[in-house]
Amino acid sequence: MRRTERLFGKNCPAVLAILWGVTQSHYVLADLPASYLHGNGSKAYPVVSLTWGLLAISIAVTVIVCALLVLGIVARRARTDEIASTPVGRSGGGMPWLVWGTGISTVALFGSLVWTVAVLADINGPPSKPTVTIEVTGQQWWWKARYLSDDASRTITTANEIHIPVGQPIRIKLIGADVIHSFWVPALTGKTDTIPGQTNTMWLEADKPGIYRGPCTEYCGAQHAHMTAFVVADPPDAFKNWWDAQITSASAPTSDDGMRGQGAFVFHCGACHTVRGTEAGGTTGPELTHLMTRQTIAAGTLDNTPSNLAGWISNPQALKPGTTMPAPGLSGREVTDITAYLETLR
């Protein structure tokens, strides 16, 4: 953050600085969940500075050229609109424009190139050894996250919400399951594609707790618009608690409708979804053991509320046309029961 400010004090017109100040304010931050004009974390800061720097150069160049263009037309405009009566001037003259214009442009371009390479070197690898490795799989149209651990019992799978500890570099391995997607968390890190047939790796770090939004950014078909991952940065203790909680299996429902719902869930949904501790063990769809800890369902399509859950399971195609989740053909009773059951998955 300080680097950005330092940079702006030196290089930028006042207008930009004000704009920057506005976008940095907490009000706007809360309002622009996907903006990358600000960032949080050791990978984001140098890139944010570079983005602002290049933006400043770009705006300056545009303003200068447009001013020269308008001034030139105004200052040199012929006295008449009658073209044939305007004499034709001789050749010659004007070459200093090319020399100076191109020369200054070249210097600016090379400066930017050097800065680019410096930033690249800065963010190439994490500042310290990553503490957590997460395998993120992009698939139509949701994100699977597997937390790897040397201790096999601590390896967990979840979906669409990726918790990380604040202040620690995280390694992300990116897997493509079907078509190409792109994993991107604007406030933390730039994009890396998930490409079937190869594993890409990247790293990220958040230095402030918060929920960071990450839309899929490689066009991947019908529901490309509804494929959002959320990176949730927790303080290290909270993160550890979260992970510990994720390891546990689902506890059995106690209410009647919950128990009926579990049966219906296993029957209707279990072929695609896993709830650990039950017979539902499908892996085609997101793992749901701790569904109610997530803020949204269907990869950011809907808030995770009971009514949305009920609507979603009764007719997913209406809410996310084309989704790979078929309409399970549930009766009204089954919908209520399954929703009641899902609400127990905490």
Partner 1 sequence: MTLVDIERRPEIARVSETDRAKLKTIWETRPGLAGFLSSVDHKDVGIRYIVTAFVFLILGGVEALIMRVQLAKPEQSLLTPEQYNQLFSMHGMTMIFLYALPVLSGFSNYLWPLLLGARDMAFPRLNAFSYWIYVFAGIFMYAGFAIGAGPNDGWFNYVPYASRQYNPGMNMDFYALGMIFLGISTSVGAANFIVTLVRTRAPGMSLNRLPILIWGTLTASAANILVVPAVSLAFFLLWMDRQFGTHFFDVSQGGQPLLWQHLFWIFGHPWVYAVVLPAMGMVSDGLPAFCRRPLVGYTPVALSTVATMVLGFGVWVHHMFATGMPNLALSFFSGASIVIAVPSAVAVFAWLATIWNGRPVITTAFLFFASMIALFVIGGVSGFMTGSLPVDWQLTDTYFVVAHLHYVLIGINVFPVVGALYFWFPKFTGRMLDERLGRWNFWTMFLGFNIGFLPMHLTGLWGMPRRVYTYPEGMGWDWLNMISSVGSFLFAFGVLLLLINLAVSLRRGKVAGPNPWDAPTLEWAVPSPPPPYNFDVIPHVASRHPLWEDRLQESEARTSLTEGYLLDHGRETIGTTPLDGDIDLILKMPEDSYAPFMLSVAISAFFLALLLHWWWLAAAAGVATIGAIAIWLWPEHDLGQTADAGHD
- The nearer residue to partner 1, 182 or 262, going by C-beta atoms, is 182
Q: How far is the CB of 235 from partner 1 (least distance, A)?
A: 25
DSSP secondary structure of 138-189:
EETTEEEEEEE-SSGGG-EEEESEEEEETTS-EEEEEEESSS-EEEEETTTE
Asked if residues 122 and 208 have their Cβ atoms less than 8 Å apart, the reply is no
- The nearer residue to partner 1, 173 or 268, going by C-beta atoms, is 173
Q: How far is the CB of 5 from partner 1 (least distance, A)?
A: 19
- The nearer residue to partner 1, 17 or 59, going by C-beta atoms, is 59
- The nearer residue to partner 1, 109 or 271, going by C-beta atoms, is 109
Nearest to 133 by CA among 164, 160, 184, 171: 171
Q: How far is the CB of 4 from partner 1 (least distance, A)?
A: 14
Query: In what helix (H) or strand (E) does residue 114 lie, and over which residues does it extend?
Result: helix 95-123
214-230 residues labelled b (16+ CB within 10 A) or e (exposed): bbbbbebeebbebbbbb
Asked if residues 39 and 188 have their Cβ atoms less than 8 Å apart, the reply is yes
Q: How far is the CB of 15 from partner 1 (least distance, A)?
A: 14
Tokens of 191: 């994009």
Instruction: Examine residue 184 and say whether the peptide bond preceding it is cis (omega within 30 degrees of 0).
Output: no
Sign of CA dihedral 26, 32, 33, 37: negative
- The nearer residue to partner 1, 28 or 238, going by C-beta atoms, is 28
DSSP secondary structure of 259-308:
HHHHHHHHHHHTTT-B-TTSS-B--SS---TTGGGSSEETTTTEE--HHH
- The nearer residue to partner 1, 198 or 249, going by C-beta atoms, is 198
- The nearer residue to partner 1, 186 or 328, going by C-beta atoms, is 186
